[in-house]
Amino acid sequence: MRKIIFGMLFLLPLVANAQELVFEGFPVKKIETDEQSSNTNLLTEAQSSEYKVTIVKNGDNHYWATRGDIQVVPVQSAFYITYVAVNGAGYVRTLIPEARALFRQMPDEEQAKQYLYVEHLTIRMGSITYYGR
């Protein structure tokens, strides 16, 4: 019995720190803007994997895992949910889970015409915006 209790106490911190994947997206377009110019690039598959976005939930808090685990606050409006960074670094906006499920049921040709999310990062006096699925 002691071994069971000791084992449970040992595993409790692991369970308490479990993260739940809330959203993962892969960008297909990148727009960089500063005071002087704006550039738009379509991304390769390798770049898409490199710049993927991940939002996780740990307990009651959400985090922008792919941007240094910045805490974000989810704000839902109609069919969209926006994860706003508490430090002002940007946001991720996507469809609510039910709408994402409907998006995934669309034919591939229709999905290719639309974006599932936008990720907007503020950098100095400019920004980087990713659009993806």
Sign of the Cα torsion 90, 65, 38, 123 reads positive
Q: What phi, psi does 4 have (nearest 5°)?
A: -65, -45
pLDDT category of residue 3 using cuts at 50, 70 and 90: low
Q: Give the separation between CA 41 and CA 132, rounded to whole angstroms.
A: 12
Q: Is the pLDDT of residue 33 over 70?
A: yes
Domain residue extents for the chain: 19-132
Percent of the chain scored above 90 by pLDDT? 78
pLDDT category of residue 111 using cuts at 50, 70 and 90: confident
Helices marked H in the chain: 2-16, 45-50, 97-105, 108-111
Average pLDDT, the chain: 90
Residue pair 103/94 in contact (Cβ under 8 Å)? The answer is: no
